[in-house]
Structure 1
Amino acid sequence: MTTVRAVVDGDIEACLEIVRALPEYFTADVPEKVRGDLGCLLGWVAVRDGQVVGFVVVERRGTRAAEILWAAVDPSARRQGIGSQLAHEVMGELRATGVKVVELKTLDAAVDYKPYEATRAFWERMGFVQIDTIDPLPGWNPGNPAAIYVAGLAPTASQ
């Protein structure tokens, strides 16, 4: 059984190990970025048999919007529904705290890189829609276009 809960300090190294185990998705500088973000932003982990097997890091963008900055599942635990459970529960918690729209960025399909085909398909199954492509996105290397995705969690119009 897998449970999802908020990140605690003792989870950070396990999250970094997941990042390091996925070099086809994350560059060598990402573990330290994730460490910093886990120290000051919202984070959740998926735990199975006492082990962290996935995580998500989110930055609130005001009271009604948020961005998923980092998300990953341990390679040995992929394709078991953990990422879907993590995404659903995180988005549910965000919705419960007033978030209406969630954004994320990933590598655009213009780059023929097979690992990210599955990433884009996953987020699209989670209800995200690509709304733009930016190249170069500040902080990203030119030639690595960012696909900008959003998902609506609730109506954005004032009632």
Structure 2
Amino acid sequence: MRIEKNEKKYASKCQALARDLREHFQALDMDALNTSLRDDLVYAALDDTKQTVLAFLCLRRTNAKAAEITHFAAGGEKWTAGAAAALLERAAADAKTKGARLLSLKAVDPGTGYEPFRAAWDFCARQGFVTVASIDPFPGWEPGRACAVMVKIL
């Protein structure tokens, strides 16, 4: 596995991965993802042949001391195979090197009871993120899909 940074050339493969994860990405999410793939720093975990995107992460600096993960996805068993954790570790280290001290992301709150999102929230918690707020309704999200704002000190 290789991690490549700011590789816009993999945008279509990131979009394809997101489309395959229908339980996580809906039509509105895809519009936001396309904006992130265009505007944010993109990290892609690739298989050794560089043909398949195993996971991707979009990172945006929100100010001099903070960065936000705007999109983060990995296919199926890749969460536990290490691609997602390696990707997150690399992006966090790069953000810290550039002066960020706080990394944030938004995840669906586990209280919604939707299991695919629970697994993603659990993964983020294992990586050191803590929930600091739960917002429902969250602007731009479907009602009943509460947003857990999660942060990690770098």
Which runs of structure 2 are paired with 1:27-46 in the superposition (5 Å)? 27-46=26-45
Cα drift, residue 45 of structure 1: 0.5
Cα drift, residue 116 of structure 1: 1.3
Q: How many residues align?
A: 152
Q: In 2 relative to 1, CA 18–136 (structure 1 residues): closer, same or farther, beyond 3 Å?
A: same
Secondary structure in 2 matching 1:39: helix
Secondary structure in 1 matching 2:23: coil
Instruction: Give the unaligned 5+ runs of structure 1.
Output: 154-159
d(CA) in 1 for partners of 2:136, 2:28: 20
Contact 1:21 1:75 in 2 (8 A): no
d(CA) in 2 for partners of 1:11, 1:139: 26
Instruction: Give the unaligned 5+ runs of structure 2.
Output: none
Secondary structure in 1 matching 2:81: coil
Which runs of structure 2 are paired with 1:1-159 in the superposition (5 Å)? 2-49=1-48, 50=50, 51-75=52-76, 77-153=78-154
Contact 1:107 1:146 in 2 (8 A): yes
Tell me the amino acid that sits aligned with residue 105 of structure 1: K
Secondary structure in 2 matching 1:12: helix
Cα drift, residue 7 of structure 1: 3.1
TM-score, structure 1 as length reference = 0.90
d(CA) in 2 for partners of 1:69, 1:81: 20
Cα drift, residue 3 of structure 1: 1.4
Secondary structure in 2 matching 1:70: strand
d(CA) in 1 for partners of 2:111, 2:8: 38
d(CA) in 2 for partners of 1:34, 1:108: 19
Q: In 2 relative to 1, CA 76–17 (structure 1 residues): closer, same or farther, beyond 3 Å?
A: farther
Contact 2:8 2:42 in 1 (8 A): no
Cα drift, residue 30 of structure 1: 2.4
Sequence identity (%): 28
